[in-house]
Structure 1
Amino acid sequence: MNYEKALQNPTSVFLKPEHVLTQKELSRDQKIKILRRWEYDARELEVAEEENMGGGPPDMLQHVRNALNQLNAGGDLEHVPPTKQGGE
């Protein structure tokens, strides 16, 4: 498993966000970073869909959030970003 590739484009390495959780060679922090990137990408697709530019594959945002919650890395509700993309 190529961590750098997964970090840049999670869908090129994993079919589902849940698959990130099963990777024993990744640390918890690495898994969170990959899932945060996936979350950002999913938000970008939602924005594109809202602007009638086509959102691509089916909505993955809830799957990503569920995976982050399993790592106890859910969203920071106190510091909600000003954009739909969530900021990076």
Structure 2
Amino acid sequence: MTSEKKSPDFDRILLDPGAHYDSPSDVVTDERFAPSDRIEILRRWEYDAADASVAAEEGMPGGNDQLLADIILGLKKLGAEIDTEQTGPTKQGGIGRSAIKSDK
């Protein structure tokens, strides 16, 4: 699948990756999508997981540090590099898109 024309499946998955995959490693091995699309799915999942971790920090249910670690590992397996020098402007400390660098 090319990045130019994405399937409706991609759009649904992007809205809630955790509802469509059991683990980040399932995203890594999902060959329906190009590696760049899988990276985008993991980035979205990372944001959602970071948001849940902040909620847990504030006493609300949620949060899963292992999930975040697995997402980062998946991003690395797909060739995305995390620049730890940059953080997003959100309370979650989300990683901005400019912080994800591809080795390609």
TM interval, short-chain normalised: 0.7 to 0.9
For the 8 Å contact 2:87–2:95, the answer to whether it is kept is: no
For the 8 Å contact 2:24–2:74, the answer to whether it is kept is: yes
Q: Which amino acid aligns with 1:72?
A: G
Q: Which runs of 5 or more residues in structure 1 are unaligned?
A: none
The structure showing larger relative contact order (alpha-carbon pairs under 8 Å, at least 6 residues apart) is 1
Which residue is 1:4 aligned to? 11
Aligned CA distance change for structure 1 residues 37 and 21 (closer, same or farther; 3 Å) = same
Take 2:32 and 2:16, find their aligned partners in 1: how far apart are those partners?
A: 18
Give 4+ residue runs of structure 1 displaced > 3 Å after superposition.
Answer: none
Match of 2:62 among 48, 55, 64: 55
For the 8 Å contact 1:5–1:12, the answer to whether it is kept is: no
2:91 aligned with 1:81: no
Aligned CA distance change for structure 1 residues 34 and 71 (closer, same or farther; 3 Å) = same
TM-score of the pair, normalised by structure 2 = 0.74
Q: Which runs of 5 or more residues in structure 2 are unaligned?
A: 1-6, 97-104
User: Pairwise CA RMSD of aligned residues?
Assistant: 1.9
Q: Aligned pair count?
A: 87
Greater percentage in strand: 2
Please tell me whether Structure 1 or Structure 2 has the larger radius of gyration of its CA atoms.
2
How many Å apart are 1:85 and its aligned residue? 4.5
Take 2:36 and 2:54, find their aligned partners in 1: how far apart are those partners?
A: 27
Which residue is 2:26 aligned to? 19
Q: Which amino acid aligns with 2:59?
A: N
TM-score of the pair, normalised by structure 1 = 0.86
What percentage of aligned pairs have identical amino acids? 37
